[in-house]
Structure 1
Amino acid sequence: MASNTLHTEENLALMEQLLQCGTNISLWKYSSDGHLVWTNSNHLVLDRIFENTGNKTYMLKCCTQYTAPLVMGGKLGLMWCAVFERRGSIPWAIYVLGPVFNSEISTANLEQSILDFDINRAWRRGYLEIMQGLPVVPSTLFFQYVLMTHFCVTREKLTRSDLHFQKWNPDEAVGTEEPEHDRMQVWLAERALLNMIREGDLNYQSAFSHANLLSGGVRAGSQNPILQAIVSCTSFTSLCVREAIQAGLSPDTAYRVGDSYIQSMIQCKTVTELRSINHAMYEDFVMRVHKHRTNPSVSALIQNCHDYIESHSEQPLSLRILAKRMGYSESHLSRKFKQETGVSITTYIQYARVERAKFLLMTTADPVSKIALELQFCSSSHFSTVFQEITGKKPQQFRREMQMK
């Protein structure tokens, strides 16, 4: 038993160092009854936030039921994860990773959280500094760290599908109903967001944060916060699709993009994941419309080519496939594409695939070889060569730098 304990402590010491490499994720150890044993964080106020959100209570209720890690979240987009250590069948200790944000958080939301978390007036300035210093870690990368920590504690190898996710949102489980929002203000905020899609306005962050503060979403007639969030996010996605089409995005592209995000939303198991995907969806449509509006010299034919290439970067693409799709001869399409864009179709396909690769490198833990295969590159080495030619960096270097930001 003593040997096993020593082995676990050595593994955790190594894991603690790994967590500090770029991401700076805090590690906390609690006894099975919830007392803090130790932490490498300098900010013990985070333990109070963990408790005030209801996550600690929820974790203690689950520690007798679960052996796989438990992912928990809060309405700010905060995430924690608990890894359970047992002695036989008896809960012995709980290791918590976090908190982290899974996306950038606005100052307005942080200031609102001062009231939500009941932060003492004397601590408010320090609280804001602490929260602004928390790491932003994509969910997929955070889950990978969680699985590694679980292995350090238990020597058991698990996958993403083995993780447990919070079945309710403790932020909303306080026995009081959510206050009614001013429906006119909610409607105005929603119209502002949709107008920004129509205009391709890149200065959308403050409006997006303001709308999140105002609205609790579409009423789903359910006490299940996950269902409530899914209904709200998928409804908003449908509105964004229509607005993008009115802004000039092709219906084929707009609906395909929207359907892809809706499928991801339906599969989410936490409100935190949903918020992250909802933010990515909105940003995606704004960027697509902005690109469309800032390239007025591109004809409808070439814009449709752009849209098709970007939406099918993980499928086989060629001049022949595009010409057949657009209804033009290969020679006419090739000549017109080069004339309007200044690059060949083959080169543009590579650009689109590299952009998709950058997204996958930032948001997943997939190995480079898998990403290369998904994006139709003949080999990992060919993918790395093309990626470096376009970005100036190798894929592994790009991923490391993005994780450190």
Structure 2
Amino acid sequence: MKKGKHEELSKIAQMLNSTTKMDTIVIDPNGNALFQLINHPIPSVLAYPENESMYFNEILSKRPSNYYFHYINTYGLEYMASGIWKGQSFLGSLAVGPFISSISIADRIKDIISKNNLPVAERKHLEQFYQSLPVLGEVEYKHLGELLVNLCGHDYISSQLISSEASVPLLNQDRLKVSIEENKDIIERRYENQNQLMDALARGDKAEVNHLTHTMSGIIEFSNRIPESPIRSSKNMSFVLNTLFRIAAERGGVHPVYLHNISERFAILIERTTNIPDLNKLITLMANEYCDLVNTYATGHYSSIVKKAVDYIKLNLGNNLSLNILAKEIHVNPSYLSRKFKEETGMNISEFINQERVEEAKLYLRRGNISITDIAFLVGYNDLNYFSKVFKKITSVTPSQYADGIGLGGPRP
């Protein structure tokens, strides 16, 4: 590919990446990535094989230049691609994604895990990843395809900017002094409420978190910081809150593995939000989800040794687990670990592992579209009979009865 064309494609890819907030990749005729712009990395378990790039070329090279390709891979990730043409010569493809065309994809995470033999420990990460993806309706992704065709099927035209002169506001020192005095109490109260919110979140006190976020409904309206762009000011404050919530959840004992994914997801959602009321709603959602994370995964109330053991169990639930394996992984004597674990959790390690696995199994059983044998394997049991025995001991019903709704208050309608 000639240098000039390469530079043109680079500019087109940058424009698409900037406006769509989706990953953009330019593929040469041999299926190699000439360059790619990544907004956020796809989890390694979902990384698509290189031959998918060749598949884009194979489909598009056999069609006229006005065709685009809507591709959905085995993980439900969707891409829009168009051929790159110079007259009648096919020069490769340009693809944008991933996105999803149905919000219900988040409900199909368990099916994706089962179908592709993914580790069950990845479920929470995958849920957060899919929830961060843009959702495009049929009209929207068709327009995206048409845009790709028009950008890739013609020569690039350089553009020139015309801008008006920016007006410079006059600084009134007297008014500034009055403004500072007027806002002193408001600012102090805002910071006090912010600290109360962080403390409540670190405790996992969802009722207090909801109360505080409701009373702080104007928390992100700092429009005076960038007068010409209130939405930019509000987004900046939302990014700050995302960081503060992450720190609060970490103080509450949530493992960084879980925090990294949720923090990335909300950073993307904040940037995609286009108005202040929706940002306020997003802040409430963000505070609640961080709070849920504390309630589900926090281990801060345990000693260092037991915390490490619990974190390892939760992150490796689908793998082989035992007292000796845990002791080896966290470098501690098995007898000492067993004693400390029982003292702090009220359960021995085997009981705790079974409790966590049964809770995970319940989620799959409620879905009703994965066999009980597959569910047992997904949550770490190689013996179906043993899984059923453990499940009944903890829930008082068999896995089949629970799947039929008996363990949920009655049979399914």
Length-normalised TM-score, structure 2: 0.41
By relative contact order (CA 8 Å, sep 6+), the higher-ranking structure is 1
